[in-house]
Amino acid sequence: MPHELPKSYEPGAIETRWAEYWIKEKLFSVPTPPEGETRPVFTLLLPPPNVTGRLHMGHMLNQTQMDIIVRWHRMRGFITLWLPGTDHAGIATQMMVERQLAKEGKKRRDLGREKFIERVWEWKKLYGGAILDQMKRLGASVDWDREYFTMDENLSRAVREVFVRLYEEGLIYRGKYIVNWCPRCETAISDLEVKHEEVVGKLWEIRYPVVGTNQFITVATTRPETMLGDTAIAVNAKDERYTHLQGKKVLLPLMNREIPIITDELAQPEFGTGAVKVTPAHDPNDFQAGKRHNLPQIDVMDEHAHMNQNAGPFAGLDRYEARKRVLADLQEQGFLVGEKDHTLALGKCDRCGTVVEPRLSEQWFIKIKPLADRAIKAVESGEITIVPDNYRQIYLNWMNNIYDWCISRQLWWGHRIPAWTCDSCKEVIVAREAPAKCTKCGSAKLEQVSDVLDTWFSSGLLPFTTLGWPEKTRDQAVFYPTTLLITAYEILFFWVARMIMFGCHFMEAHKQDPALKKASGWEEKKDDSVPFRQVYIHALVRDADRQKMSKTKGNVIDPLEIIERFGTDATRFTLAAMAAPGTDIAFSESRTDGYRAFANKIWNAARFMFMNVDRVEPGLRPGTGSESASFHLETLEDRWILSRFNRVTAEVNDALTTYRFHEAANRIYDFFWGEFCDWYLELIKPRLNFEDGANRTQARIACGNLVNLFDGALRLLHPVMPFITEEIWQALYEGNPPLKSIALAGYPQPDERRFDLSAETEMAILQDLIVNVRNVRAEFKVEPKVKVPLEVFAPDPAIRVMIEQNRGAVERLANVEKIAFVEGSLDKRAGARSTARFDVHVLYERKIDVAAECERLKKDLEKFDKEFANNQRQLSNEQFLAKAPEKVVEGLRKRAQELTVLIDKTKSKMKELGCK
């Protein structure tokens, strides 16, 4: 039956169909391999998008790169697991539901905790799967049968187990410390969740009267409202200006409270007045100074950043209203010395944008150094590599200066901390399950701590908890450590570092459990406690002007709109082709439109192939074995295209090995569009037309080569453009392929025996000849229908023979009437072109535009000179010569000789024309 492919390429029509087919057929589901399985394993964890999320360009880039790598490994025979899921996103989800309640005129406290959490689960059921539905539409080849949600019961149990173990090991503690407090979210947030914004604020100078004297000490502050909680003034012991005041007291303005003058390194003589106010409950540095001097901790704000009863007459005021009143009263009472502009980094909540307040609060912390030390070693020793390499040092710098991690959040949605307080004796009990009575006094009056864990706590466990931990499972034996993590720089510390810390800590102990081998068939593997072997940090997607996308700038690009206009394949190809490691992507719709045209080119090439196959040999399918084994080398173009296919295959595989997505995509593009469509298809057209038996045989061979090559090229392209390749590949087998999907077919591997340098060189000369003739025709404005005669001078007899053998291709593709070979250079004739291997003269009567010809020659000379200078720079670099492969160096030397000839010929012609 004839091959069926619609006349026009409509991506929307085919993409939805294949996305649904892949899921329905469970093509990417990975059952747990039995013991004795010898195939290599590739495991990748999808960075779980927030359950509140919608697909943005960062997701699109991340998922495109992951899908390319996953499909590439699967096609190379790896047991390939790409594990999907979503994160419960504590603050974000709670805010979303609170907004919904606000529209109903309600607050979460009106519902109570239990009812509110029920409401969140309802919201999640209705809206929480949106981003995964979008992923399915995009064809992400994840194992949907293993999809998880971080609040699933099995994962929640693992979270409790980790918390209890860390507590039992003395690595989790509870205490009052200064934390970053968001008054809007009403919770503590980590340093990483605070975004600093440089703003011009004010610096106010306030004088404090020294008790028993007529002297004052002047201090400066950017937050005058916090002075209501001052408990000391600090000066430096070495500051002679204040030696006589050490040990005395000052009267705190507005509060009329005496506070001591202490000596502490907090005060630096060279900064400001050399004296600083100490507010232990509202500044992290002051908090530490307060501990050193046993100062009181006076908290003057509540959780909403309103002044509390400790603020005296200012109680009940919002912090900014209190600031105005404090400044007015200081001015009125003569304590305000002055104010000036001051640039400061204002900390804001990354989630809601509210200015963060440093606040004394009782929280739960992880003593992080023991975990961080092992995580540092994992990267320093090479157990984990980070690509690009510059992120390795960024990671190490942060880890070496890490602070204890505040893991508690004052939210209702999330993993509730497994700790209970006894109402009778105030004992805190940490347990895996709710205790029946107090372990200290036996009371049954226990109340669970209301705080939940930081979202990153549970997501940091995912590499092993999603594989069944704390149980001993076969999945852990096979899929842990995961192979690779592809993620964004912005979560290197939020998530990546914490996965490394948790993975090394818990899986190191886990693998030493003697019950593990028996239960799971675990085989000891080197460095198998790390959560992954490699981390690839992808770049940012910016707008076409390289500006960071933001709603404020109005330059946010919606990937779903781009996909609707250009198709998923074209969008994926754009991101891949621009994704050089370490370089941000300036996303361009014009590039995407170009890759939409690329998909159309492939589609039309397939239709051309099917039209000829159905005419020449109906029912023809790709042969068995490799592309090379099924290919008949009848002509120069056959030898050339097979050599180029194998070289490109080697380059693409090599590029993907080191995440050079741009190189892989561009090599495929150049091969498929340039070499295959523009040259090979044109070159074989005469062979596809037959009139007798001998010609029919050649047509069959040409069709067989075409089908086998197209099959290989589709598989080469598939990881980047999965939809169009699936559609054409299925049509290639007339809807009855040997496998359910091209995604399960083998990825092309290079056959070095098919590398044919001679064929590539000869074809390059032939292409050069045809292109030069086409250029002359264009410059002379020769009508397309007019055939022109050529004169060719080729000093090398082998080149002359090769051109003679391929005379028909030159005449047809350059629209040439006849070719005459001459003795002697043609470079001085009008309408001639010179190369290192031949001169060609287009015989066409038209007066030459000397100025235009001189301008063209001048540009050619500049190009040749520049290339020659670069060439010589490399050849004179001893370090380069020592490291470069021999064939690269030889190629440079050969090119230097060619450039010398081209430069001489161009100068000679310019002299002949009298060019200046």
Q: Which of 291, 284, 206 is nearest to 251 (CA)?
A: 206
Please give the mean pLDDT across all residues of the chain: 90
Residue 566 confidence class, pLDDT cut points 50, 70, 90: very high
**How many CB atoms are closer than 10 A to CB 679?**
21
Distances (CA, A) of 213 to 207, 245, 330: 14, 10, 20
pLDDT in tens, 731-768: 999 878 899 999 999 999 999 999 999 999 999 999 99
Does the pLDDT of residue 514 top 60, yes or no?
A: no
pLDDT of residue 559: 87
Residue 127 confidence class, pLDDT cut points 50, 70, 90: confident
Selected residue with higher pLDDT from 88 and 542: 88
| Predicted TM-score (pTM) above 0.85 | no
pLDDT in tens, 687-716: 988 766 667 888 888 999 999 999 999 999
- Give the DSSP H or E segment for 80: strand 79-83
The tokens for 647 are: 């070289």
The tokens for 737 are: 């392929």
Q: How far apart are CA 77 and CA 85, in angstroms?
A: 25
Residue 24 confidence class, pLDDT cut points 50, 70, 90: very high
From 481-495, 613-627, 695-709, 852-866, the region with the lowest mean pLDDT: 613-627
- The answer to whether the CB of 746 falls within 8 A of the CB of 75 is yes
Q: How far apart are CA 121 and CA 578, in angstroms?
A: 40
Question: Mapping DSSP to helix (H, G, I), strand (E, B) and coil, where does residue 411 land?
Answer: coil
Q: Where are the alpha helices (DSSP H) in 112-259?
A: 113-127, 130-137, 153-168
Helix axis angle for 559-566 and 589-616, nearest 10°, is 30
Residue 344 confidence class, pLDDT cut points 50, 70, 90: confident
pLDDT in tens, 158-174: 999 999 999 999 999 99
Does the pLDDT of residue 901 top 80, yes or no?
A: yes
Could you write out the DSSP letters of every residue in 698-717?
A: HHHHHHHHHHHHHHHHHHHH
Q: Which of 11, 54, 217 is nearest to 556 (CA)?
A: 54
pLDDT of residue 479: 96
Provide the phi-psi class of 354: left if phi over 0, else alpha when psi is between -120 and 50, else beta: beta
Let me know how many helices (H) and strands (E) the chain has, helices first.
30, 29
Does the pLDDT of residue 288 top 80, yes or no?
A: yes
Selected residue with higher pLDDT from 369 and 1: 369
Q: Which of 31, 148, 128, 67 is nearest to 463 (CA)?
A: 148
Residues in the chain: 916
Residue 878 confidence class, pLDDT cut points 50, 70, 90: confident
Selected residue with higher pLDDT from 57 and 649: 649
Selected residue with higher pLDDT from 781 and 814: 814
Q: What are phi and psi of 424, to 5 degrees?
A: -85, -50
| Residue recorded with tokens 């010809």 | 853
pLDDT of residue 522: 43
Averaged pLDDT for residues 595-605: 96
Do the bridges between strand 257-263 and strand 232-235 make them parallel or antiparallel, or are there none, so unpaired? parallel
